[in-house]
Amino acid sequence: MENSLLNRAMALLSFAVLVGFVGILVGYVTRFDLALIVALTVGLAGWDMWHVAMGHKEDKH
């Protein structure tokens, strides 16, 4: 139980760090194509975090 809570907290922290880093990058390098790639990256990372951290994905190995 405690390990699962720690995993979720670390997943949220790492996602926040990723969003902060690419947010600063897009803020200083204002290019439309970069913003599209960052949006795609953050979207995929958020989707993966939601499915893995919330237990929707099973390990089939």
Q: What is the pLDDT of residues 2-60, one digit of tens each?
A: 567 887 888 889 999 999 999 999 999 989 999 999 999 999 999 888 877 776 655 55
Within a domain: residue 48? Answer: yes
Within a domain: residue 59? Answer: no
What pLDDT sits at residue 19? 94
CA 61 to each of CA 29, 48, 54, 56, 58: distance values in angstroms, whole numbers, following the listed order: 41, 18, 19, 16, 9
Token representation of residue 48: 């993966």
Within a domain: residue 27? Answer: yes
Q: How many domains does the chain divide into?
A: 1
What pLDDT sits at residue 56? 62
Any idea what DSSP says for residue 31? -
Question: Dihedral (C-alpha) 52, 22, 16, 13: value to the nearest 10 degrees?
Answer: 70
Within a domain: residue 61? Answer: no
Within a domain: residue 23? Answer: yes
What pLDDT sits at residue 51? 78
**Predicted structure pTM score:** 0.75
Domain encompassing residue 35: 2-53
Within a domain: residue 8? Answer: yes
Within a domain: residue 58? Answer: no
